[in-house]
Structure 1
Amino acid sequence: MAEPERHVGHDERRLAELGYRQELTRAWSSFTNFAISFTIISVLAGCFTNFSFAWTAGGPASVAIGWPVLCAFVLLVALSMSELTSAFPTAGGPYWWAAKLGGAGWSWFTGWFNMVGLVGIVAGVGYGAAIFLNAVLNLYGLKIGSIDFATTNPSAVLHHEFVLFLLILVLYTAVNIFADRQDVVFVVLVIIGVLIFVPDHHQNTSFVFSQTFNNTRFHGGATHGACVWFYILPVGFILTMYTQTGYDASAHTAEETRDAAMGAAQGVWRSVFYSAIAGWFVLLAFLYAASDTKAVDTAGGSSISIFTSAMANHLWGAKLVLIIATVGQLFCGAAGLTSASRTWYAFSRDRGMPGWWLFRRLNAARVPLYAVVAVSVVSLIITIPAYWGNKVGTPWAYFAITAICTVGLYIAYIIPVYLRLRQGDRFQPGSWTLGRHYKWVNSGAILFVILVVYALDIPTVPAGVPWKTGFQWTALNYSPLVLIVGVFVGIWWVVDARKRYTGPVRTIDEAPMFEETPEAGPAPEPGS
């Protein structure tokens, strides 16, 4: 048989079947695909910046036991998404899967929840990096012009953190940094080693795995009973859930990955699995090093206070850990911008974003430049409220962003999983499949996400309960704003979007790509 007139690689062929021309450069290996999700999850970002939630709402036992248990359920979500990534290896990810499995309406909502979550990751990780960078500069007593990083004035600290955040966003926009697994493993080992060998004192294993705290001031500080299981501990879920986000990046970069149906699919679940292991060891190192619980409690459970109190006589160790964590968060945020910009580009390609005609363009290097800039600008805008904190200088808007992005992402993750479960055996899997196990894996993932949405939407402190005396706006949990976003997007859909957004838009006529030149045969008759 003669060779095809136009040879199309397996990945390009599959992409054409899904309706798209190969536009992004397909140069990534399956390992690089895994690395971007692993970098975005980044235990150096989530574990460090949100440790205070689990410490305050449950204490050491909540961290040591809660992390692996929650990660096991997160893995169910990741496995479900891996199967969908293999079946539909496009940059659109969740919103594209929803369109294929449920139609344009499901796709519209999924795309916007996904976009809100991914932009929130860029903003949240960037601001977290600014907080840690400011702490490093504070330890060194650095002064640059009129900016004195050695100050402890709450208002000045917030100002410095915001300036650093702005500079970090500029850095994210200028470059995309990808860390490979060996680099991250080495960094994790260095941090664990410092926390083991540098502090003069350590906690015992009984403290790490059985000690419980309730510093939320809910229920009189109770550490036992139904209120702890159904309210206090769920408040601490944000540590695990915020850390374990962004692994859809492997799906969003599928069009840049070779053998995407297998490599991108494996990148989704493997990034969650290995992050769960690395994160657990890092958190255990935190807990064993937390010998001065009073200092940690006074700082609201901040991981920074663990380093500075445990290594008060060896501040070089605290500085080293903070520097490494800050650099890791810079890597995480830059990779997050890559994922978010690919989603913005893909959703624009399918005409789901305002100004889609601009954001679907690529520059000469085949990078969605306008989408990159758009994500950075929106990340800056939504973080501006963090410039104003409470009386002790806590950037309340930062914590709101982390919770909002987590809820938004998991809603986007679970919608196509539900639609896949609804399709049952009619679903056509790719080369990576759950087989007959999809029913219990998908069902477990859906129930877990429902629990997570509840846990992340409840008030985290008494001052954040609107109907109680002493309510403060700065203490409010703003996660339910995600539901308001859903209402707004729904109204937009009914009024206008459904008239123009029909789901994925084909950019290629696949027929010529797959026709082979016949070996012999009569010429077709005219008009046939």
Structure 2
Amino acid sequence: MSMTNDERKLAELGYKQELDRSWSGFSNFAISFSIISILAGCFTTFGQAWNNGGPIAISIGWPLISLFILIIGFCMSELVSAYPTSGGIYWWASKMGGAKAGFYTGWLNLLGLFGCVASVAYGCATFFDLSFSSFSKGWAEGYSLRRVFVMFLVILIIIAALNIGSGHFMATLNNISVWWHVAGAAFIVGALIILPENHMSVYDMFSMRVNNSAGLAGGETSGTAFWFYVLPLGFLLTQYTITGFDACAHMSEETKGAEHAAAKGLWQAIFYSAIGGWILLLSFLYAVQDADAVTAGGGGVAVIFAQALSAKWAGLVLLIASFGQLFCCTSALTSASRMMFAFSRDGAVPGSKMWSKVDKNKVPKNAVIACAVVALAITLPALVEVNIGSADAPIVVPTAFYAVVSITVIGLYLAFLIPIYQRWRMGDAFKPGSWTLGNKYKWMAPIAVVEIVIICFYFILPTTPMGWPSNEGFDIKFVNYAPILVGTSLLVLWLWWHASVKKWFKGPKTTV
């Protein structure tokens, strides 16, 4: 039987075709577009930006940070074109930097993908809960972390069941997701422009500052601490929303014409999401009726919708976003399972034989289930109630959710950093694929590396003064546990590498 160009390229990289290559270039673009999901991140982490900077963190911060992320995406597009494998980032690092670089990259990528599944599914549960509360006053009494957590568990079961179906079914689902996001976002923007009686002025949208961080920088909206500590924390909105685009690489073994299609799909998913997300976020700001009330309500979008729209309209907007988030976490689980499959195929995950198995539908079912279980485990701290308000005006926030968001950003972007740096170091010795940056890598790669280092530093910092051990009001429940989980994971990996892994792990294994 003659080999296709895709199968030949994969064989050159050392693998036989095991997964079902039925995805089109549009489907490949669609999975990253779905995981980026402006109906997910723009809704679930809006409060992070409002509380840490206010409107300027959104109106100005979004396009600024998006530009840096697009540069990172261009660097990765060149890499996926050269090495279109399911292992994606891990495989690139191994090829250019050796087994040790590949080992750390793979685990950071996997940790970030676990966090992505967990955070999006938890956000999805929260927004379905808000939707049902808007439509029915009898749905539930107040906000409940336990009720949301149960819904989160149900969502994990649903998306795992969807992923266990055929790979072709997932491709179709991602295609539908793109149009849901486009039409849904357009509908929401229209509703927020037309229906509210009043609107925030454009001047305020691009100039208003808020510090609702429970005391960081003394609660001030000016000064060094505000500009260089509080405001950058608000950029988590953009950095978290526009991530997960490595899915184009993870699905490259299932994509036709992957050498070009996956590279193109990756940067286009970032570009179109950045534009659509900015328009959507500006419509949120434009609909604000009472900025002080939004701040008092914790900065969440539900407060804005309750101000600007009737209960039914607000519920409909939230429901549209909730289904968008369901598409998003379904795609995130697809990406995570393919990474776990590829990494296990090379023997780097305990129980590798189990996770690298594919079923009769050519789907790594065991890896799908494992990823869902890990996502559940790392979100258990979300059951701990954290009140950043007062006894008279309580504001219950899922601090653990923001920690999982930070884990996602840190894990994924550190994994991106390693192969980007390795490609930069290789210089002209790097052999590009059909999609290449040419000499532009010489300035793009260092910018990408520096941006990733800076954001990873910021997102391990406490988001409230009570999270600093030196603070009188310190309490463990306020701690951003992202650095604890990431740091502990890196320590375990370091010990494991030196005690055992370096003796037997030689990087990607060939199956051809």
TM-score norm. by structure 2 comes to 0.94
Distance in 1, matches of 2:225 and 2:180, equals 42
Structure 2 counterpart of 1:160, one-letter code: R
Q: C-alpha displacement at 1:315, in angstroms?
A: 1.6
Q: C-alpha displacement at 1:323, in angstroms?
A: 0.2
Q: Given that residues 58 and 213 in structure 1 are in contact (C-alpha distance below 8 angstroms), is that contact kept between their aligned partners in structure 2?
A: yes
The aligned residue for residue 112 of structure 1 is 107
Distance in 1, matches of 2:334 and 2:455, equals 26
1:191 matches 2:191: no
Larger radius of gyration: 1
Distance in 2, matches of 1:416 and 1:229, equals 31
The aligned residue for residue 150 of structure 1 is 140
Distance in 1, matches of 2:417 and 2:186, equals 34
Distance in 2, matches of 1:472 and 1:53, equals 20
> 384, 400, 403: which one pairs with 2:403?
400
Q: Given that residues 57 and 235 in structure 2 are in contact (C-alpha distance below 8 angstroms), is that contact kept between their aligned partners in structure 1?
A: no
Distance in 2, matches of 1:54 and 1:399, equals 12
Aligned ranges 1:30-45 → 2 under 5 Å:
30-45=25-40
The aligned residue for residue 512 of structure 1 is none
1:322 matches 2:318: yes
Give the number of aligned pairs. Answer: 493
1:382 matches 2:360: no
The aligned residue for residue 506 of structure 1 is 510
Distance in 2, matches of 1:57 and 1:261, equals 41
Q: C-alpha displacement at 1:142, in angstroms?
A: 6.4
Classify the secondary structure of the residue corresponding to 1:370. Answer: helix
Aligned ranges 1:64-463 → 2 under 5 Å:
64-141=59-136, 149-152=139-142, 157-176=144-163, 177-178=173-174, 179-216=176-213, 217-311=215-309, 314-391=310-387, 392-463=395-466
Q: C-alpha displacement at 1:295, in angstroms?
A: 2.1
Q: C-alpha displacement at 1:184, in angstroms?
A: 1.8
Structure 1 counterpart of 2:296, one-letter code: T
Structure 1 counterpart of 2:150, one-letter code: V
Structure 2 counterpart of 1:164, one-letter code: M
| Percent sequence identity over aligned pairs | 46
Q: C-alpha displacement at 1:124, in angstroms?
A: 0.5
Classify the secondary structure of the residue corresponding to 2:397. Answer: coil
Structure 1 counterpart of 2:428, one-letter code: D
> Pairwise CA RMSD of aligned residues?
1.2
Distance in 1, matches of 2:53 and 2:177, equals 34
Q: C-alpha displacement at 1:253, in angstroms?
A: 0.2
Distance in 2, matches of 1:236 and 1:196, equals 24
Classify the secondary structure of the residue corresponding to 2:386. Answer: coil
Distance in 2, matches of 1:209 and 1:425, equals 43
The aligned residue for residue 169 of structure 2 is none
For structure 1, the residue ranges without an aligned partner over 5 or more in a row are 1-5, 144-148, 509-528
Classify the secondary structure of the residue corresponding to 2:22. Answer: coil
Structure 1 counterpart of 2:449, one-letter code: I
Deviates more, 1:255-264 or 1:197-206: 197-206
Residue deviations 1:1-35 (CA, integer Å, cap 9, x gap):
xxxxx411100000000000001011111111000
Distance in 2, matches of 1:417 and 1:108, equals 15
Q: Given that residues 89 and 260 in structure 1 are in contact (C-alpha distance below 8 angstroms), is that contact kept between their aligned partners in structure 2?
A: yes
Q: Given that residues 237 and 455 in structure 1 are in contact (C-alpha distance below 8 angstroms), is that contact kept between their aligned partners in structure 2?
A: no
Distance in 1, matches of 2:241 and 2:425, equals 29
Q: Given that residues 32 and 180 in structure 1 are in contact (C-alpha distance below 8 angstroms), is that contact kept between their aligned partners in structure 2?
A: no
Residue deviations 1:354-404 (CA, integer Å, cap 9, x gap):
100111110000000000011011111111221222245422221111111
Q: Given that residues 106 and 343 in structure 2 are in contact (C-alpha distance below 8 angstroms), is that contact kept between their aligned partners in structure 1?
A: yes
Classify the secondary structure of the residue corresponding to 2:499. Answer: helix
Distance in 2, matches of 1:490 and 1:46, equals 32
Structure 2 counterpart of 1:212, one-letter code: R
Structure 1 counterpart of 2:471, one-letter code: K
Q: Given that residues 384 and 477 in structure 2 are in contact (C-alpha distance below 8 angstroms), is that contact kept between their aligned partners in structure 1?
A: no
Distance in 1, matches of 2:416 and 2:120, equals 20
Structure 2 counterpart of 1:189, one-letter code: A
Distance in 1, matches of 2:217 and 2:337, equals 43
Q: Given that residues 113 and 411 in structure 1 are in contact (C-alpha distance below 8 angstroms), is that contact kept between their aligned partners in structure 2?
A: yes
Structure 2 counterpart of 1:400, one-letter code: A
> 485, 489, 496: which one pairs with 1:492?
496
Residue deviations 1:74-122 (CA, integer Å, cap 9, x gap):
0111110000000000000111000000000000000000000001111
